[in-house]
Structure 1
C-alpha cells in the first residue's frame, strides 16, 4: 500500500523592511515548522500575496512605501488570509486602527519567539477554508483585485474610483444579487441609501466600458427594483 504524501508546512510571508528582523523571524518560524517567504516593502508584499498565496502574513506597520494599515485595508478587499501585525507601535490607537482595518492579531516588538509561534498557530486555526483569488475572470473581463486593475479582452480599462468600487463589490458577490441599498451604503454611506440615481449613472458607465453591447449586457445584470448581479454568461 502506497504511503500518503506528507502535508506541506504552512507558508508565512514576512513583510518587514528591516533585514535583521526578517532574518530573526525566518529562524524562529522555520524552527517552528513553517516555510517562510519575505518582502521588504508593502508593494512587493501585496504582489507576493497575490501570486504565492501564503497561508498567513506577518506584517510590520512602518514600511517605506505603504503604511501597514493601508496594506491591510487593500488586502481585505479581496483576501481573508490571516494577518499578524508585528510592530514597534504600541499605542492603543495604533492597535485599534490595525485591527479595525482587518488584522487578526497584534504583537509589539521586541517579542518572544514562543509567543510569536503561539499567536501564529492561533491565527492559522481561524483561517477560512479558501481565500478569494487575486484575479477574477468572467467572460472576457479580468479583474485584478490585488493590483486594482480591470481588463477587457486583454486591454486595460480605466475606471473611476467609484466605478471600480462598485465593480469590486459585485465581483466579491458574483452570481448573487447585491441590493441597491447595500451598494449605496458601502460606497456612499448610510445617508445615501435612497439615492438609486447614483447607481443608474455608474452602472451605465460600467456597461459602456465593460460590455460589448451595453444595452444588452451579458455580465452586469439588473434585477429590477432590487439590485445588480455580476454573472459569467448572459
Structure 2
C-alpha cells in the first residue's frame, strides 16, 4: 500500500530512474549479482551485455562501444587492468563501480575509461539506477571532479579539505567521510545503516551515528542556513530546509 503523507493523503512512491535503450556492460563474477543487475537493468529500459571478469570487460570495451560499464570492483583481476590495452579516448564509457570501499582513487587503477562514480555494497537498486543516470548525463561544467560543492559548502577530495564560505572546517576522517556522503547524495535521505557502512564499513548501533552527526553539525552549521537536516525515523540529508519536498 502506498505510504501516507503527514496530512493523511496517500502519496506515491518516487519512480525509479529509467534508461532509454543505452547499452550497458555489466561486469560481475558472482552469478547472483550478475543476474540481479542484468535483469534489473533490462526491466529499467537498458540493453545489457554481461561478462564475469575485468579482463574480458576491458577487451570488450576495446572492441565495442558501450554507453556505460557497471563493474564489481571486488573482482580479483581488477587491480591489473590498468596495464593492458585501453579503449580509444573517444570511446571511453563512464563506469559505475560496486565496491566495499570508500576511496576509489586510492584503491583502483586508472582503467582508461571515462567519468566514474560508485555505490557501496550492499547497495540499493534505486541508488544504482540513480547513479547510472547521472553518469549517462555526462560531466557537468565547472569545478573538477574531485571538488564537490553545495552552496557555500565545498569539499576538495584531492586535499581532504572542507570549507564553509571562507571558513575552513577542521574535520576528523569520520566527519569528512560523513559530510562527503551527505554532499554527494544531497537532498537524498540516508539511513543510519547506510551512513554507518559508508563511514566505518559496518553498521554501528547505539548512538554512535547521532554523536557523529551532532559533532559535524556543530562545525558545518555554525553559519546560516543550516545544511544538515534530520528526517525523524528515517535518517539524515543535506540541503536547505526550504528545499525539502
TM-score (norm 1): 0.45
TM-score (norm 2): 0.43
Instruction: Answer with 1 or 2: which has the greater Rg.
Output: 1
- Greater share of residues in helix: 1
